[in-house]
Every structure is written in C-alpha cells, then in structure tokens.
Amino acid sequence: MTNLQLIAVYALLSGSTVFLGGLLSHFFGIYFKSGLVKTEIIHGSIAFGGGILMAAVALVLIPEGIEALSIVPMAFFFIAGAVAFFFIDRYIEKKGGTMAQLLGMLSDFVPESIAMGAVFLHNSQLGILLAIIIGIQNFPEAFNAYPDLKSRYSPSKCLLILFLLSFSGLVSALAGYYFLSGKPLVIGALMLFSSGGIIYLIFQDIAPLSSIKNNWIPALGACFGFLVGMIGLKLIG
C-alpha cells in the first residue's frame, strides 16, 4: 500500500471510534437504569475523558508546539485558542446547550489527525502510533459527547452527527499530508491553539461536570485517562 492509502486506512480506523463511542453511549442510556452505579459510570467516564484530553495537551500538543515555535508566537496562539473557545462556549450556552465534550474531542482529534498525515511521509511508524492514540482518545470522548448532543437533538440525529464527524479525521489527515508536510511552524501553531481551547474547556465545563459530592471515583477516572496518554507517549518514544 502507498503512504496515501495507509493514511486513509488509519485515519478511518481512528475516526471510527467517534461513532462507536457514541453508539455505546446510546445503548448505555437505554439499558442502564438510573441509580448510583449509573451516576458513577457517567461521571467517571467524563473524568476519564478529561484526563485523556489533559494528557493530549500535556504530552502531545504542547510539547510539539513549544518545540516548533518561539516564545512570543507560542504564547499568542495558546491564548488565542483559550479566548476563541471562551466565545464559542459562551455562544453555545446562550443558545441553551452545552457542547464541551464534543468541542474537546474535536479540538484534539483534528490537529492530531493533521499531524498524523503530515508526519507520515517522513516517519510512517510515528504516524501509525498517532492513529492508535487518536482512536483510543476518541472512544471515551465520543461516549461523553453523545449526551451533550442528545440534549439538543434526537438519538438518530446524534448518531448521524457522530458518524459524519468520524470522517473529519480522514479529511484532516489528508490535509496534513498534502498541505502541511514539512511545515512544523503551522502544525505547532495549530496544536498550541487547540491546547488553549482544551484547557479552557476542561476547567470551565468538563471537570465541574465530573465531580460527585462525597465520591472519589471520578477523580480516579481522570488519573486513568491521563495514564492512557502517558502509555501512548511511551509507545511513540
């Protein structure tokens, strides 16, 4: 298979977990009745997804961005991302909804997929490992994004949205391959912009939603989520 064909295959596989995570969340909501256990699972999964997002920022996005950019553009793009997501979050809130989990998923899924496509030509092994990490990250993030979507749309429309979004990884990877190969400054700026937005979402929306009074399971979920990112970094290294 050519590099382009490999990129397409791995991007589709890593993106498929967006739909699969949403599908699992759909059936979870149908077959699991309300109660403490269900509450713990939901809040634990939110914290787990937050931990994965934090790991993506701390272990992948920010290190790559810092390496590519000097201090002034580094700070600019990071703050620009935080401010941009602040306005997006406020806009969605005024419309009566919350999309923090969905925004968080896309804000690491898209730039990491772009990076996967961009590096594949020079380091196919790194590209494959990035695809694996992206696929692992997408599953719990999509699981948590589904209830956000369900608060605004019907279940069938929610699943259709997640199905279509699963192909954004393919589009992003191909864009990285064709347009950003050999352009580390642009990739670094994109990763820092996304990092600022993710950190804003984690502390504004995701972390507060994960907590349960007198219950420590969600905090442990965040730790396990971060551990997933650490394992992914070790695989790349």
Q: What is the pLDDT along the chain (237 residues), one digit of tens a residue?
A: 788 899 999 999 999 999 999 999 999 888 777 666 677 777 777 778 778 778 878 877 888 888 888 889 989 999 998 898 888 888 877 766 667 778 878 887 888 898 888 888 777 877 887 788 888 888 888 988 898 898 888 999 999 999 999 999 999 999 999 998 888 898 889 888 888 888 888 887 777 666 666 666 666 676 676 677 667 666 765
Q: Name the nearest CA neighbour of 99 among 62, 107, 20.
A: 107
Rounded Cα gap, residues 230 and 35, in angstroms: 32
Q: Tokens at residue 136, please?
A: 């692992």
Nearest to residue 73, comparing CAs of 193, 181, 232? 193
CA distance 110 to 101: 14
Closest CA to 66 of 181, 191, 201, 234: 191
Tokens representing residue 142 in the block: 């999509």
Is-contact 9 15, C-beta < 8 A?
no
Cα gap 36→9, rounded to integer Å: 40
Is the sign of the CA dihedral 223, 225, 227, 233 positive or negative?
negative
Alpha-carbon span 6 to 3, nearest angstrom:
5
Q: At what angle do helices 124-150 and 100-120 cross, to 10 degrees?
A: 160
Predicted confidence (pLDDT) per residue in 49-102, tens digit: 778 778 878 877 888 888 888 889 989 999 998 898 888 888 877 766 667 778
